[in-house]
Amino acid sequence: MRTQVGIIGAGPAGLLLSHLLHLRGIESVVLERRSREYVERRVRAGVLEQGTVDTLVEAGVGERMQREGLPHHGIELRYGGAGHRIAFERLVPGRCITVYGQQEVVKDLIAARLAAGGDVRFEVNDVAVHDAATDRPYLTFTEADGTEGRLDCDVIAGCDGFHGVSRPSIPEGVLTEYRRDYPFAWLGILAKVKPSSEELIYARTERGFALHSMRSPEISRFYLQVAPDEDLAAWPDERIWAELRARLETVPGFTLATGDIVERGITPMRGFVAEPMQYGRLFLAGDAAHIVPPTGAKGLNLAVADVRVLTEALARLFADGSTEALDGYSRACLPRVWRAQHFSWWMTTLLHTFESDDAYARRLQTSYLDYVTSSEAAGTTLAENYVGLPYQEETS
């Protein structure tokens, strides 16, 4: 086979890239290790920045999101027995977030690609990158039926996540990897229960952090700060709900609704960036290039930002043969990546408890929370980063 862009990974980054390229008349083939059912049911992020929403709408894949997504115009910071609302409509007028599950974005993108005759191949194994340093790279793989395949292309996009094959395909010594592992994890659950709040609640308590989120008017999403090596089996439903109540029912009049837990898991907390995000004709996007702790809700949104830049650069390449924008891809993406890294680190350290903290450190946290919730300038900084900074002309 031959195509213009070979894409590894059918997550939001790979699928959106394929769709945006299609709109520019550029061919691509997407290779995905998992089944279609698996990627459409994989629960991940659910908070979409304003720029992500705008991108999906402009690409013609936002109709269901606009109909079923939940726009939020603020979040609550809950600590010290009180709730404090960060009001987006006042601090960043005209910008908000939309709660719409990543798996729903994936479903919409797969439907759009298949409806347009796109080549998306699931259950593809043994994908390997070859000759990435040349202008004739190619991929080898094994189809679901065992047939061995080869895909020749002009460019390879590695959109296969943190544990994928793309980044390890880059020779040792080329990348500089920056990493921070946090001394806790998140225990996340999905429950069949109406949300107890109309907006997300970020709760800081002496027992640890908790987050009340949602996926729909009938489905709620919750997270608890736990030990990094926590055993999920040690958390039966009763213990999860008891701990959520202890961390969230800290303000007068708030009662947490409970229901059937339909999914649970433990997510490690880490920050990671690989620089540069490219090698020859291999370009990394999304989690293949960077990871953020989920506190700032930036992972999916950073993937969309990467793909926007990469699409413009590829459009220039195939329009007139210019490689200038492609050569500057990593340089264009990294400022936003590091801004998101800092914001995610800041939110994480502001709201979580650390075993190493003493009374002095805890008082510093409270002092800064008081500042954020009382200062117009500090609140605006949180709000504009949370809803997402406007896109710049990164490829210029």
Centroid of chain to Cα 112: 21
What are the residue ranges spanned by the domains of the chain?
5-72+95-178+270-355
Look at residue 44 in the predicted model and tell me its pLDDT: 76
310 burial level (CB within 10 Å; 0-12, 13-18, 19+): buried
Residue-level pLDDT at 292: 96
What pLDDT, in 10s, does the model give residues 185-236? 999 999 999 999 999 999 999 999 999 999 889 999 999 999 999 999 999 9
C-alpha–C-alpha distance, residues 181 and 46, integer Å:
23
Mean pLDDT of 370-396: 88
| pLDDT tens figures, 293-307 | 999 999 999 999 999
The catalytic residue positions are 72, 202, 294, 298, 386
Residue 288's nearest CA partner among 130, 160, 169, 126 is 160
Tokens of 51: 């720029």
pLDDT, mean of residues 57-83: 97
CATH T-level topology, domain 5-72+95-178+270-355: FAD/NAD(P)-binding domain (3.50.50)
Closest residue by Cα to residue 376 from 24, 91, 76:
91
State CA 180 to chain mean position distance.
Answer: 17
Q: 3-class SS at 185?
A: strand
Q: Are residues 382 and 86 in contact, defined by beta-carbon separation less than 8 angstroms?
A: yes
- For residue 4, which of 149, 329, 24 has the smallest C-alpha distance? 24
219 CB neighbour count, 10 Å cutoff: 18
